[in-house]
Structure 1
């Protein structure tokens, strides 16, 4: 017996799309590592959906995820070319995920939170080919079957399995883990901020992993370190220098506000600095399993801060 397919009007079709928007954005963001590009891809998926023959679509969710994934792969290939001329280190765009505070943005409005959305993992996934990355995301983050992924990417199941094996081989040993709860994360972020602002290097060194690294992304738009800063002493001096810079801003009459979010940026504890209520910097702290900070991801490029700008103007 043939299945009756939906006969929707435009309003019902829009509602069906919005029901899956969060999922589509989550898929696109993981494949791309770029929030603004993910939003563009989801908008393009909407255009494809609004022009579709609904009567021929058996599974709207599968249709939309397929369209979004293919658009994201195409966009990623274009972005890889653009990245070749990028000034300084390139980082994924940070995005709000969740926070312990009741008033914080809800994860349901952003991306589904798991370890594939951390900045560390997104950076590792940059080493994958677009197809490997899409397969890895669909399988690891969203648990699609090999048959479903094969249909989405127009590949055989055997090819999909091979792509996943290669992707896992790249990321397995580098996959971040999150052994700490939000209370402990918040405590580490508070101690980190206090140490930087206090000007005493000793407590800061206690928080840092021996192989700690700071990676700054200014994109040539604003001043930022053009190479990673590596090692305890170099990182400590670098962070103290940033704190001094903020003190100078305050002396010059700039309204500096700093917020701590235990797991609000890509699932990691983060420090968000505002200047006159505009996001100036996002410092995301990648923690080792012993709770020490192994990487500080410092995002300063204003063109890559759209995923955190909804905090602008909030009370401190």
Structure 2
């Protein structure tokens, strides 16, 4: 149909900020988000939309289905996406489409909430889609159910389970407020490269243990003493940009996600005075998969 592509491109461009927001919250990766929008645009451009009464809702459905397929493929492959900065968009790319910018990735993660993105990575594809579309974008359960090939009641349960994990239930801990301040301060000091502030949080006998996948090294490593541990923490400044405070097995901890994938978890132990006595750094996929990661309230 003459002019159809131009009209659809205009509609897609008008809706692109919202569609991009939907895709990013589902995928947690800016590069994959832009890939999903490109795929959705190509599908929309080829489709017969003459009977579509709600173009914006229809485009949201197309983007959501593409993202769902990507999540399912991600779970099947369990491999890192190629990200070498090469622009692989075809000549028919949507006008205005952009390649992923690392600085924008950090900004978006902060806006959405790094902790939320990390928890989302622990959800199954259907749970993630149901939660994002309903709780964040008010898409009716009937519409989401059609995307998932489930009943509205089953879809509602998926969103409910995701919501419970996002909110989290901390283990009973009378010192939780003080420990939360310590974990927040540890993350702030690491992000800001404030060595002295980090040293002030550590017990004189602090021990840091890291598995072989953290550095990586041939085997696990152990570091003792305030200054050596603080120097080791300073080495993770880049990771700290994508790190948030969460519950790890019901206790306060830190988790880092990059490109929407959980990469590293830190578990802490504390002395009675609130100083950090132990840091367990976990990056081996097998160990990460056994952890219960959830949000904080």
Q: State the TM-score bracket (shorter-chain normalisation).
A: 0.5 to 0.7
Task: State the Cα deviation string for residues 37-63 of structure 1 (Å, max 9, x = none).
Answer: 221111000001111223221111111
Q: 1: distance between equivalents of 2:75 and 2:157?
A: 23
Correspondence 1:41 to 2:36: yes
Q: How does 1:73-84 map to 2 (within 5 A)?
A: 73-83=68-78
SS of the aligned residue for 1:54 comes to coil
Shift of 1:197: 5.2
Q: 2: distance between equivalents of 1:297 and 1:225?
A: 19
Alpha-carbon distance change, 135 to 193 in structure 1, aligned in 2, over 3 angstroms: closer
Correspondence 1:192 to 2:150: no
Q: How does 1:125-274 map to 2 (within 5 A)?
A: 125-173=120-168, 192=189, 196=193, 198=195, 201-205=198-202, 237-241=228-232, 243=234
Task: State the Cα deviation string for residues 192-220 of structure 1 (Å, max 9, x = none).
Answer: 159845467533549xxx9x9999998xx
What is the root-mean-square deviation in Å for CA atoms of aligned residues?
4.9
Q: 2: distance between equivalents of 1:148 and 1:134?
A: 12
Task: State the Cα deviation string for residues 97-155 of structure 1 (Å, max 9, x = none).
Answer: 78xxxxxx7xxxx5894xxx323222222332211110011112212222332344443
Determine if contact 2:199/2:230 at 8 Å carries over to the other structure: no
Partner of 2:93: none
Q: Which runs of 5+ in 2 are unaligned?
A: 81-100, 171-183, 264-297
Determine if contact 2:189/2:198 at 8 Å carries over to the other structure: no
Q: Which runs of 5+ in 1 are unaligned?
A: 1-6, 87-92, 99-104, 176-186, 247-270, 274-280, 305-316
Give TM-score scaled by structure 1 length.
0.53
Match among 37, 60, 64 for residue 59 of structure 2: 64
Q: 1: distance between equivalents of 2:117 and 2:220?
A: 17
How many equivalent pairs are there? 221
SS of the aligned residue for 1:55 comes to coil
SS of the aligned residue for 2:244 comes to strand
Correspondence 1:51 to 2:46: yes
